[in-house]
Every structure is written in C-alpha cells, then in structure tokens.
Chains A and B, each alone.
Chain A
Amino acid sequence: MIEVADLRKSYGRFDAVSGVSFTVGRGEILGFLGPNGAGKTTTMRILTGFMPATSGRATVAGYDVFKSPLQAKRSVGYLPESPPVYPDLDVTSFLDFCARIKGVKSADRKSKIDRAIEKARLGEVRSKIIGRLSKGYRQRVGIAQAILADPPVLILDEPTAGLDPKQIIETRELIKSLGGDHTIILSTHILPEVSMTCQRVVIISKGRVVAEDTPENLTARLSSKGAVRLEVRADIRVAFDALREVEGIVTVNPRGNNSGHTVLELQAEEGVDIRAATARAIIGAQIDLLSLTQVSLSLEDVFLELTTKDSVAISEVAPAAIFTPIVPSEPQPSADPPPDPPSPVENAGPKETN
C-alpha cells in the first residue's frame, strides 16, 4: 500500500532524511518511532505530497507521489503535527470545506461528515467554533478531517501529542479501530503507544531507519537489556552480601546511598527475570525492602543503543561492577514477589500482515 525506496531530503549540506526505505501492507498499522528531529515529519510530509523529496521514490496506494500527486493525495488522509484547523469556522463548516476540497461528491457529503463526526466523537461540539475548543477536541477535528473522505491510507503525525491521558487512550482506541480498513502510519516518540496500537515499528534516527521490527521483538530486546532497581534500608555492604546468593545477576551498580538507604541497579543475564529471587534474598537476609522495579530502557537509551555501533549497556556506562556470580543461572521460578512492578509492555496488537 505504501512503498518508500531510498528517500532523501537535503537542505543544503544537511540531510533531514537520508535513504529511508520501508513498505506498509494493506490494513497494517505502522509505528514510526524516533526522537525529535529524526526525520519523521519530513518523511510523512513527502508521503503526503506536502513537499518533494530530493531523491528516491514513494508510492501511496499505487500512485507515485511525485508523478501523480493528485491521485496520491486523494488516497491519503493526513493529520499534521498541529491540527490544521481554522479557528474562525465551526466544526461542521470546517469539515464541509474539507469534504469539498477532498473531492467528496455532494450527494455523499453530509453522510461522510456525520460519519467522521461520529467516529471522532465530535457530536456535542459539531456547531461550536473551533477556536473555542480545547486542544483535545481540536486534535479530534484534525482526525475527523483526515478520515473524512474515507481514504485507504492514513498518515498521522503524533496523533496523541498534547492530549490528556484519557484522550490519549480514546485516540489510541480510535486509531486501532481504523486499522484493517485503512493502512495507517503513525509517528510518535512514546514507546508504549507503538506497542499498543501498531503491528510493526520502524525506528528512525538522524534520517535513517535504524530498526524495523514487531513491537513484541522490540520489547523483548529492550527488557532483556533492562535492569532492576532496588532500594533497601541497609548498608551497601550488607546489601551486596545478600545479593551474592541471587543467581542471574551480572553486575551490581550502586546508584545512591544516604542515611541508611541504598539504591542499587542490578543487571541481569539476558532473558532472566531476577526480581523474585532478589526479593527473596533481601527479605531472607532480614533487610527492609523498600522498592524493587524493573528499569526499562527509555527511548533515548534505545536510540543510543541503535544508533551507535557498539551497544552501550548500563554497566559500561558506569563500570562499577562489584562482583560477578560464578554459576550461570537458569530462569527463575515465576513466583510473584510482593512489590511486583508491571511489565513495561502489557499488550501488543495482533501481528498480521497481508
């Protein structure tokens, strides 16, 4: 449905996008992940025909965006980073204008507007002036505008940015419900968002694709690199001694120590969950356990890892390894320790591509 091949966009010497390639199948939801300035918006703007690429090829629904821009644009609904709404129009007349310029037939206009208003849950504000609506509603007007003409492809640039948590959840639900009928690319820099809504993820950094994977694989990769943060009320030496018994710990890094509180970061072997065993060992040594949490790598760490040649593990950043257990361990029994932190990613959408 969407094919991007070796796309490049240069501003003088600076390459905003340098050789991005990916494809998106029909009905698929692709997450486009990257820090600010990675080239997400630029890539999306090229796909929507907002601006031409310096070189490379992009086709949307079979139309080349450079050679047949009008057909390509007719197949795409686009929500830019800030919703493109006229503050002086009311919601219905704005959508009516959009329907006209998007070439919706006059006979279908009313029903399509009603459908978009219903899907974006704008019913109660349909005759309000957009300038008086909250940010969340404006964002929804932007989404309504994108889905209005029922295009096969939707390109959503940070659809949840600036929304409150409830609105974020609603917007994600809406996007998920649009998948299947529509092929969707959505950009974000929020990792859980991708795992909740997308079937595939393209990570882009400094204008290049640095990883392309399913959210499941990506998360697995992350949690295996994750560390456990432990806070105990004990002297650091005492805590070390207790942890000596736990299998699967590779390194222990002190992260803070004041007035009897010790914070440690434990690096586990890949694929080993050390939380339960750690909790037992600490309790068993009569030490007060204050907290025990899985430290999932932040997106910045992922980028750091994906964009530099040598992966940077936490232990290398702060090489204060105290000891290494001699016996390599097996996976721990999965008894739940009392302060069980939720796993960083709860659900990943069904993985199905045509």
Chain B
Amino acid sequence: MSTFTNIGAIVRKEWQHYFRSPIAYTALFTWNVLFAVFFQFALTYFLEASMNPGGGMGGPPKPNINEWIFRPTLMNMAVVALFVAPMLTMRLFAEEQRQGTWELLATSPITDWQIVLGKFFGAVSVYALMIATSLLNFAVIFYYADPRPEWKPVLTGALALLLMGSCFIALGAFLSTLTKNQIVAGILSFCLFLAIWTLSWLDNPMSSDPVKVLAYLGVTNHMDDMVKGVLDSKDIIFYLSFIGFGLFLTQQSVESRRWRE
C-alpha cells in the first residue's frame, strides 16, 4: 500500500533528522538521567520505609515495590515528558518551512495526512525509544527483589506515559505548523503543555462542574489508573481522541496554509 510506504518514508526521514543532529541524543540523555534520578529517590524512600522498625509483624503493611518505586517514578516522568516533547516537535513543520523543503513535500505525490502521520509517528517512535531505554532501570528491581514485583502495572504505566506524551507530540506538531521559527514553536508548545498539566490540579471533589470539565482535559489525570495497573477503556479513548484532535488540527493547518501561501 502506497499510503504506508509514504508514511514510512517520512518516519524514516524524521529519524535521520533526529539522529544526525544532537536532538535525539539530548532527549535520550536528559530523559534517562532524570529517570535514573527519580528512580534513585524512590528507591531510597522505599528502602528507608522497609527498614523502619515499625513495619513488619503487627505494624503497618510492608511497603509495596510497585506502589513505592514504579508508580512515583512514572508519574514524575510524565512531567519530564512535558519538557522533552517540545524538543521533539518544535522542528517538525517549522523547519521544513524555513528550509524551503516544505515545497518538496507539498509538490510530491503524497497527501497532507501522510506527511502529518509520518512526522507524528517519527516523533512518537523516538519518544517510545526513550521510554524503553529508561525502563531498563527497573530491570534491576525485577532481578533482585523478593518477592518479585508485579510487571503488569509497569507495562500499563509505560503505555500511559507513551499515550500521554503522544498527546503532547500531536499538539506540538500542530503548533509547529503555525510558524517558521522553531524556537517560537518550542516556547508555545511548552507553555501550552504546562497549562494543560496544571489543569489536572483542578481535579478535586470540591470543584464545580465547569472546572471538572477543564480538569478532565488535564492529560496527566488519566494516567493514574493505568499506572496502578488498571486499563480502563475510557482513559485509552480519552488519549486516542486527544491525539486524533491534535493531528486533525495539524492537518487542517497544513492544508489551510496552501490557500494562504
């Protein structure tokens, strides 16, 4: 199918851009260092709690590894994703505009949707690589811990992180179509992601209905259940619709640019 070939060609090209420039290495490095730091903190707290003489027989239950290490680390990385995602998305369309290579893409026998999806999956796959490499940190726990922690919540948590970051990437791609200047695209994306993240703070039982609606849009809320190991279709659907909406905006913006040009 030429649709997949075309999308694949764009993904491949985006990877070449990411890995022939410092972008991919910077993103991988930052992500992994921060992951290791958060992991280290969580591990230290867990060890302190386990050593606590109050624990054990008769006292409060023994701290659980999933709850004490994996969950906080993954939730912290959601905030890191907010910083890293603009690095991956700011150049997606802005740079094509500035270099004049947009003219090559726009006059090739390939649709706007194929370009948009190719760029989106290009960025998402780099992000997925970041998550995959960082999960190696957890391997240590699985090797030494006794009893073995549950692996399912780690997987669903990683999936949550991937979906949440993909929302940022879809939105960042849209913002990158709005300008020729990738720094502008980056700053806009960062501010918007930050605003979306703060929406999740509004989520408490006391808030009024309109505020709850806003809080619902805070993408990090929807991670909570998944990080606990609960796959709820409503969260998945939320993320997929968010991504779909972001990509739709991107495609619309790309198409409308043809008319404005």
A residues neighboring B (CB under 8 Å): 45, 48-52, 70-71, 73-74, 76, 78, 80, 82-89, 93, 97-98, 100-103, 145
B95: nearest chain-A partner, CB-CB: A86
Residues of A within 8 A of B20 (CB): 88-89
Taken together as a complex, chains A and B put the C-alpha atoms of A39 and B111 apart, in Å, by 26
The distance in angstroms between the C-alpha atoms of A83 and B20, with both chains bound, is 20
Contact (Cβ within 8 A) B13 A78 = no
Give me the interface of B with A, judged by CB distance under 8 Å: 2, 5-6, 8-10, 12-13, 16-17, 20-21, 99-111, 258-259, 261
Nearest Cβ in chain A — how far from B168, in angstroms?
A: 24
Q: B9, B99, B109, B110: which has the most chain A beta carbons within 10 Å?
A: B109
Q: A50-B258, A70-B109, A89-B20 are in contact. Are A80 and B103 (CB under 8 A)?
A: yes
Known A-B contacts A50-B258, A50-B261, A88-B17; A98 and B109 likewise in contact (beta carbons under 8 Å): no
* B9–A85 CB distance below 8 A: no
B259 touching A84, Cβ below 8 Å? no
A102 and B109 form a contact (CB under 8 A)? yes
Contact status A103-B103, CB under 8 Å: no
B258 contacts A101, C-beta separation under 8 Å: no
Q: Which of A49, A50, A71, A87 has a CB less than 8 Å from the CB of B99?
A: A87
CA distance A82 to B98 in the complex (A): 11
Roughly how many angstroms separate A49 CA and B2 CA in the complex, as a whole number? 19
Chain B residues with Cβ below 8 Å from A82 are 100
Given contacts A50-B258, A93-B16, 8 further A-B contacts (CB under 8 A): A50-B107, A50-B261, A73-B108, A73-B109, A86-B17, A89-B13, A101-B10, A101-B110
Residues of A within 8 A of B103 (CB): 45, 50, 78, 80, 84
Please pick, from A73, A74, A78, A88, the residue contacting B16 in the complex, using a CB distance under 8 A.
Answer: A88
Q: Are B107 and A73 in contact (CB under 8 A)?
A: yes
> Is the CB–CB distance between A97 and B13 below 8 Å?
yes
Partner of B109, one of A45, A80, A89, A103: A103
Beyond A80-B100, A97-B9, whether A102 also contacts B108 by CB under 8 A is yes
Q: How far is the CA of A70 from the CA of B108 in the complex (A)?
A: 8
**Which residues on the B side are within 8 Å of A84 (C-beta)?**
99-104
Shortest Cβ distance from A347 into chain B, in angstroms? 33
CA of A73 to CA of B20, assembled, Å:
29
Residue pair B12, A49 in contact (C-beta under 8 Å): no
Of chain A, the residue at the smallest CB distance from B103 is: A80
Residues on A with C-beta less than 8 A from B107 are 48-50, 73, 76, 78, 80
Q: Tell me the smallest distance from the CB of A1 to a CB of chain B, in Å.
A: 17
Verify B106–A88 contact, CB threshold 8 A.
no
In the complex, how many angstroms separate the beta carbon of A128 from the nearest chain B beta carbon?
A: 13
Q: Which residues of B contact A48 (CB under 8 A)?
A: 107
20 contacts between A and B (CB under 8 A): A49-B106, A50-B258, A50-B261, A51-B259, A73-B107, A76-B107, A84-B99, A84-B100, A84-B103, A85-B101, A87-B99, A88-B16, A88-B21, A89-B20, A93-B16, A97-B9, A100-B6, A101-B9, A101-B109, A102-B109
A132 to B253, CA, bound (A): 33
* A291 to B16 Cα, complex, angstroms: 60
Q: For B258, what are the chain A residues with a Cβ–Cβ distance below 8 Å?
A: 50-52
Closest residue of chain B to A87, judged by CB? B99
B104 CB to closest chain A CB, in angstroms?
Answer: 4
The smallest C-beta distance from A208 to any residue of chain B, in angstroms, reads 21
Chain B residues with Cβ below 8 Å from A89 are 13, 16-17, 20
Q: How far is the CA of A98 from the CA of B13 in the complex (A)?
A: 10
With beta carbons under 8 angstroms apart, the residue of B6, B99, B259, B261 that contacts A86 is B99
Residue of A nearest to B2 (CB): A103
CA distance A341 to B101 in the complex (A): 44
Taking the closest CB of chain B, its distance from the CB of A55, in whole angstroms, is 13
